[in-house]
Amino acid sequence: MISITELRQNPALLKLDLYCKGVRLDESCHVEEDGGRKILRTRAGLGSGLEMILPGNLWTNVPATEPFVARSPYTLHRLKGQYLLRWKGQDVTGVELSPRPGWYDRTTATGKPMTRIGTLQGTYLGIYQAKVCEYWTAKPAKVNCKFCSVGLNLGIDDADEKSLDEVMEVIRAARDESGITYVDFNTGHYEGDTYLDILEPFVRRIKEELGLLVGVQTPPHRDLKRYDHLREIGVNRVSFCFEIYDRELFEEICPGKHAEYGLDHYLEAVRYCAALARKGPRLEPWVTNGEIIAGLEPPESSIRAIDWITSVGAIPTVCVFRPLTGTDLEHSDPPETEALVPVFRRLYEACMEKGLPIGLAPNVHVSLVMLPEECRWLSPHRYPWQTLKLKAMGKLFRRQFERRLAA
């Protein structure tokens, strides 16, 4: 049982516990009037909550609208203009609302609300590019991932069509006004594996005109050589969401991914892309992520996934399952925090043991997941040499990046 003292002292534990339980907003809260971000239902299911900043500068997105939140011990209050988090009526800590930038209330030159083109997930810009994932429109029956809400969201908070110019306009606004350093593109599955063809023109323009870091999260293209090309044109991150390492659960919960690509092809793509770190433009960093959702399979299986991903030189991205309203799993329980602590502890320890480059990107705070480096608060182990090395690498990387932006 987690105590209030631990929650007060350990921001990573607090971030994790809030993902699992959510927060109830007291009527004293005026999130938007106080400059906070409106709760949006965008992205593949996780960004449905309240964006806030916890102690330790941990940015997060806390469930606030799903039915399970009604049972949460956490409440958020506004006292004398400050936001205060309480647990079972006792004060835990002050928190900040993630600031809503001016561009959130503007439209593009073509008249679309800018937030329907892209939204901030913490401090980076996330864009769900192109039409809805075709698993949602498959005939005779849809084969979408059961936790996913993309097919419910599009057309509500996300625009169906986003032109190159519209996307560039929003990226410029986010760079100038929110100081973003990283743009993350996300697509679902499209017949003919067209997702990389769709994204490449965006990558080229961002690289040529703005020099920002760019990431691409799509299904694993059947022609893995395509990733050599992405590496060449300056993509900095590729991410493959296989979600579940347990084969039976993968097949059951991700029927489209299973039928179309299969878990083995996801793993092969992770392995292939991780090896590309040694090739490509010297000044463009390259990171490969394998993404899983903790809480959809036993913790031991999530830990096996983390160990496999790090063994091939990739970095795990570990989300916490959130039973979103309207999804096939909406009536499932969210995971128990205590069961997930070993998973996130292993996330940090495995990355440090393998010497992986975590926490290097300048000004990238992620609200949708626990970053590996944030999980250091969950581990008793310190890695002094690796920590020093990462600090030095981070400094160098920041300097190079700033020089490039100034050029």
> Which residues are at the interface with ligand SF4 (CB under 6 A)?
44, 133, 135, 144-145, 148, 150, 188-189, 256-257
**Least distance in Å: CB of 395 to ligand SF4?**
36
**Least distance in Å: CB of 235 to ligand SF4?**
19
CA distance 276 to 30: 47
Q: Is 319 or 366 the residue whose CB approaches ligand SF4 more closely?
A: 319
Q: Is 23 or 40 the residue whose CB approaches ligand SF4 more closely?
A: 40
**Least distance in Å: CB of 150 to ligand SF4?**
4
C-alpha dist (Å) from residue 98 to 49, 121, 367: 12, 10, 10
**Least distance in Å: CB of 319 to ligand SF4?**
11
**Least distance in Å: CB of 371 to ligand SF4?**
21
| Tokens 């993350």 sit on residue | 184
**Least distance in Å: CB of 191 to ligand SF4?**
13
Largest CA distance in the chain: 57
**Least distance in Å: CB of 199 to ligand SF4?**
15
Q: Is 141 or 407 the residue whose CB approaches ligand SF4 more closely?
A: 141
Q: Is 291 or 373 the residue whose CB approaches ligand SF4 more closely?
A: 291
Residues paired with residue 240 on neighbouring β-strands, in sequence order? 290
Q: Is 104 or 266 the residue whose CB approaches ligand SF4 more closely?
A: 266
Q: Is 22 or 188 the residue whose CB approaches ligand SF4 more closely?
A: 188
Smallest CA-to-CA distance from 367 within 13, 61, 81, 86 is with 61
Q: Is 148 or 356 the residue whose CB approaches ligand SF4 more closely?
A: 148
**Least distance in Å: CB of 266 to ligand SF4?**
11
**Least distance in Å: CB of 189 to ligand SF4?**
5
**Least distance in Å: CB of 47 to ligand SF4?**
13
Q: Are strands 74-79 and 24-25 parallel, antiparallel or unpaired?
A: parallel
Q: Is 21 or 257 the residue whose CB approaches ligand SF4 more closely?
A: 257
Q: Is 92 or 130 the residue whose CB approaches ligand SF4 more closely?
A: 130
Residues paired with residue 182 on neighbouring β-strands, in sequence order? 213
Q: Is 189 or 376 the residue whose CB approaches ligand SF4 more closely?
A: 189
**Contact call for residues 78 and 32 (beta carbons, < 8 A):** no
**HEC per residue, the chain:** CCCHHHHHHCHHHHHHHHHHHCCEECCCCCCCCCCECCCCCCCCCCCCCEEEEECCCEEEEECCCCHHHHHCCEEEEEECCEEEEEECCEEEEEEEECECCHHHHCECCCCCEHHHCCEEECCEEEEECCCCCHHHCCCCCCCCCCCCCHHHHECCCECCCCCHHHHHHHHHHHHHHHCCCEEEEECCCCCCCCHHHHHHHHHHHHHHHCCCEEEEECCCCCCCCHHHHHHHCCCCEEEEEEECCCHHHHHHHCHHHHHHCCHHHHHHHHHHHHHHHHCCCCCCCCEEEEEEEECCCCHHHHHHHHHHHHHCCCEEEEEECCCCCCCCCCCCCCCCHHHHHHHHHHHHHHHHHCCCCCCCCCCCCCCCCCCHHHHHHHCCCCCHHHHHHHHHHHHHHHHHHHHHHHC
